[in-house]
C-alpha cells in the first residue's frame, strides 16, 4: 500500500474547521445539496452563457402521473478529480428540472462526536489515505452509509411539483462504493477477505431492503485518462490527497472500465446489470468552452429523455 499512498501529509484538527458541513446550497437553477462553496458564483455566470439555461429542459409530459415515480435518478461516476463536481455544477446551473446531490466529502472529513454534535472527532478521509490498511474498511462503511442517506433523500417539493420530467442527479452512488472503491481496496489488500465478506453481506442486504428507493435509472460516466485526473487532482490541491499516486488512479480507471464499459464486473443487483450508461469524454477542458458545455448538456438531455 505504501506505493499508492504517501502518508507524509499531516492531519490537524484545525483543518477540520475549513470544511463546514453545508447541507444545502441554493443556486439559481435550484438546489445543490451537500454542495461545494463555489457553486453559487459559477452558476450565476454559467446561466448567462448556456442557451436555454435555467429553463425547463424536458418537454412537459405526463403531468398527471404521480410525482415521485416520475423523478428519474442518475449517478455521475468517474475517477478521482475527473471533474464530477464541476460537471454536476454545470448541470445544476443549466436546468431547473435537475437537482444535484453532491458527494458528502465534508462529512468524511469531519466525523462528528456521537454525543456532542458539532464537535469534530476526526478526518476519516485523511486517515484512510494515511493508513489504508487500518482505515479502508471503516471508510467504506461510512462512505456507503452516507451515500445511502443521500440516495434515500426524497425529491424536494419543488422537484415534485414540476410538470416535466425531473431528475435527481447523484455524485457517485452506493454502487460505485462497492464496485469501484471497496472492490479495489480489497484487490489491493487494504480490505482483508473477512472485511470484504462482511462488507458485501451488509451492502447486499441494505440495497435489497431499500429496493426501489435506491435504484438508478441511468449512469453518466465521465471518462478521462488517469494522467489527466492526476493533473487535475494536483491542481485542486485537496490536502488529504497529497499522497495519491498515479498508480492508484490507474487501478480505479480499470475498475470503471470493467464495470461501465466492458461489463465484466460481477454485479449482484438485477437492475444494475442492464442500466443505460452515457459515456462522456471528460478530458476536454470544458470549463471555459461554452460550445463543449452545450454539446454535453444536449447529450445529457437526450439521455434523460431516453430513460
Which amino acids are annotated catalytic?
Answer: 171
Choose between 165 and 293: whose C-beta lies nearer to ligand ATP.
293
From candidates 97, 103, 177, 240, binder to ligand ATP by CB under 6 A: 103
**Residue 230 touches which of ligand GNG, ligand ATP, none (CB < 5 to 8 A by kind)?**
none
Residue 219 in grid coordinates: 449512469
Choose between 85 and 168: whose C-beta lies nearer to ligand ATP.
85
Interface with ligand ATP includes 129 (CB under 6 A)? no
Select from 45-53, 60-68, 83-91, 174-182 the region that touches ligand ATP (CB under 6 A): 83-91
From candidates 81, 144, 169, 174, binder to ligand ATP by CB under 6 A: 81
The number of angstroms, rounded, from the C-alpha of 153 to the middle of its chain's C-alpha atoms is: 15
Interface with ligand GNG includes 106 (CB under 6 A)? no
Q: Are 264 and 179 in contact (CB under 8 A)?
A: no
Choose between 71 and 224: whose C-beta lies nearer to ligand GNG.
224
For residue 273, give Cα distances in angstroms to 210, 259, 268, 300, 305.
18, 10, 8, 21, 20
DSSP 8-state class, residue 179: I
Residue 216 in grid coordinates: 438508478
Size of the site for ligand ATP (CB under 6 A): 17
Interface with ligand GNG includes 286 (CB under 6 A)? no
CA distance 260 to 14: 39
Name the minimum Å distance from CB 5 to ligand GNG.
10
Name the minimum Å distance from CB 39 to ligand ATP.
11
**Residue 139 touches which of ligand ATP, ligand GNG, none (CB < 5 to 8 A by kind)?**
ligand GNG
CA distance 288 to 103: 24
Q: Are 218 and 278 in contact (CB under 8 A)?
A: yes
- DSSP code string of 79-141: STTSSHHHHHHHHHHHBTTEEEE---HHHHHSEEPSSSTT-EEE-HHHHHHH-HHHHHHHHHH
Query: For the purposes of burial, counting CB atoms within 10 Å of the CB of 109, is it exposed (0-12), middle (13-18) or buried (19 or more)?
Result: buried
Interface with ligand ATP includes 43 (CB under 6 A)? no
* 120 to 149: interface string for ligand GNG, x by CB under 6 A: -----x--x----------xx--x------
Residues at the site binding ligand ATP, with contacts judged by CB under 6 A? 78, 80-86, 103, 232, 235-236, 282, 284-287
Amino acid at each position: 500500500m505504501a506505493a499508492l499512498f504517501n502518508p507524509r501529509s499531516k492531519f490537524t484538527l484545525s483543518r477540520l474547521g475549513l470544511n463546514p458541513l453545508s447541507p444545502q446550497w441554493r443556486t439559481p437553477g435550484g438546489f445543490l445539496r451537500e454542495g461545494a462553496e463555489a457553486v453559487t458564483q459559477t452558476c450565476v455566470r454559467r446561466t448567462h452563457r448556456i442557451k436555454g439555461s435555467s429553463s425547463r429542459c424536458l418537454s412537459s409530459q405526463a403531468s398527471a402521473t404521480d410525482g415521485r415515480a416520475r423523478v428519474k435518478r442518475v449517478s455521475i461516476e468517474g475517477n478521482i478529480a475527473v471533474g464530477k463536481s464541476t460537471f454536476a455544477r454545470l448541470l445544476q446551473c443549466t436546468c431547473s428540472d435537475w437537482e444535484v446531490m453532491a458527494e458528502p466529502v465534508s462529512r468524511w472529513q469531519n466525523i462528528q462526536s456521537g454525543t456532542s454534535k458539532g464537535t469534530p472527532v476526526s478526518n476519516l478521509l485523511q486517515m484512510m489515505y494515511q493508513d489504508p490498511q487500518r482505515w479502508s474498511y471503516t471508510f467504506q462503511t461510512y462512505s456507503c452509509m452516507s451515500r445511502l442517506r443521500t440516495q434515500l433523500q426524497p425529491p424536494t417539493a419543488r422537484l415534485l411539483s414540476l410538470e416535466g420530467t425531473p431528475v435527481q442527479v447523484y455524485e457517485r452512488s452506493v454502487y460505485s462504493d462497492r464496485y469501484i472503491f471497496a472492490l479495489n481496496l480489497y484487490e489491493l489488500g487494504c480490505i482483508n477477505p473477512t472485511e470484504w465478506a462482511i462488507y458485501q453481506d451488509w451492502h447486499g442486504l441494505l440495497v435489497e431492503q431499500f429496493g426501489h428507493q435506491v435504484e438508478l435509472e441511468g449512469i453518466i460516466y465521465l471518462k478521462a485518462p488517469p494522467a489527466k485526473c492526476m493533473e487535475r487532482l494536483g491542481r485542486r490541491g485537496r490536502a488529504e490527497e497529497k499522497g495519491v499516486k498515479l498508480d492508484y488512479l490507474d487501478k480505479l480507471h480499470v475498475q470503471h472500465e470493467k464495470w461501465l464499459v466492458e461489463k465484466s464486473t460481477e454485479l449482484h443487483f438485477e437492475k444494475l446489470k442492464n442500466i443505460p450508461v452515457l459515456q462522456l469524454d471528460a478530458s476536454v477542458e470544458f470549463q471555459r468552452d461554452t460550445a463543449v458545455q452545450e454539446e454535453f448538456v444536449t447529450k445529457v438531455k437526450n439521455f434523460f429523455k431516453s430513460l
